[in-house]
Amino acid sequence: MGGTTRNFLQRPRSGGNVSTKVTQSVILVTGSDVDGPLGIVHLPRLWATSILDAAGLLADGVAADPHGFDSLVTHGLRVEPRALRRFLTTIPTYMQCETWIRAHTRRLDPATITRVNDTICATHRNVAAWDAFHAWLLARRSERLEPIVPAISSRSRGPLGVNHLARLWAKGLIDAVGALPEGFRTCRMRIVRTANGFEREVAVGGLGGLDVPWLEWFGVDVDACAEHLQTLPAYRAFEEWIVEHATQLDAERIAAYNARRIDARPEKAAEERAAVGLYDSDLLWSYMLNDLTDWKTLHDLAAAAAA
């Protein structure tokens, strides 16, 4: 998990002039398997795709899905799709989107949400979107990139079926091209702003965030992993590297890790909830808080571009 202060509307750690308006396109990697506090999968991706498109930031090849998962959500919840689209062109925050859904749906009972979620999760696969992100990043690795939000959820899984690995991979790749935003951690390192620009420093104790505990849980050398990520491997290749180098990787240990509930410190969780406009004092779950912070950042980028 990154620091509590994340300034994304800045140039990356290579220094230089500060940019208050992002113009770089966004290749969206938020998966359709991820929900927000309301519990509806794909809704975060539907929202993000729409606001980035409205702001002119959506990368080529990424588009709304009105006849696919978007339709499953709007039809299943009995939401008027054109009304939702009109609302999303105003570039609301994600929490404002959920508030709008609550006010305009005609079917929001737990059984309906479960039916929609099961239908989407039965067919959704993440790796195609991650391959597109990898290709997009490789094509621009020699450019001076603006900060890139690593908006892959720790809840999204690849073929290996383990939480957080894809997010760990995405952060490592973004760090390798010099575009990891201020406050984020990758393995032992954290991005900080200094008088000389944005730099990497060893996080206090080396254990801040989720990456190091993940690697230690499965017996992967942290520094070797960080070095490998600097080579920009594709996701499947990275999973293969993990399988080869992990000393404690088996189905039982994966299941035990996935069952863990990793919570943020109460004071940190309260700060992050307030920042994203969520006032559910019971939410401490690091995975959800990271996602909500990523989505707030995507909103900030879209709002700044549209201003």
> Strand pairing of 197-202 and 189-194?
antiparallel
Say which DSSP state 206 is in: G
CB 44 within 8 A of CB 35: yes
Residue 261 has which token pair? 């509930």
Report which residue type is found at 19.
Answer: S
**H helical segments located in 55-159:** 69-77, 81-88, 94-104, 110-123, 127-139
The reported pLDDT for the residue numbered 1 is 40
Q: Quick one: pLDDT band at residue 271, thresholds 50, 70, 90?
A: confident
Q: Where are the beta strands (DSSP E) in the chain?
A: 185-186, 189-194, 197-202
**Model pTM score:** 0.85
Place of tokens 């035990």: 256
pLDDT confidence bin for 147, thresholds 50/70/90: confident
Q: What is the pLDDT of residue 22?
A: 62
200 or 71, higher pLDDT: 71
Task: Tell me the per-residue pLDDT of 40-81, one tens digit each, with 9 for 90 and over.
Answer: 999 999 999 999 999 999 887 666 666 689 999 999 999 999
When the pLDDT of each residue in the chain is averaged and rounded to a whole number, the result is 85
Q: State yes or no: pLDDT of 191 exceeds 60.
A: no
pLDDT in tens, 87-107: 999 999 999 999 999 999 989
> Please, are residues 101 and 40 in contact by the beta-carbon 8 Å criterion?
yes
DSSP class of residue 58? B
Residues above pLDDT 70, as percent of the chain? 84
Strand, helix or coil for residue 26: strand
Residues in the chain: 307
Cα–Cα separations (whole angstroms), residue 78 to 47, 108, 109, 189, 256: 17, 9, 11, 46, 37
Q: Are the C-beta atoms of 136 and 128 separated by less than 8 Å?
A: no
Lowest mean pLDDT among 128-142, 200-214, 269-283: 200-214
Rounded mean pLDDT of 151-179? Answer: 93
Tokens 């894809």 found at: 166
Residue 167 has pLDDT above 60, yes or no: yes
Dist CA 265 CA 209 (whole Å): 12
Tokens of 185: 């951690």
Give the whole-angstrom CA distance, residue 126 versus residue 136. 16
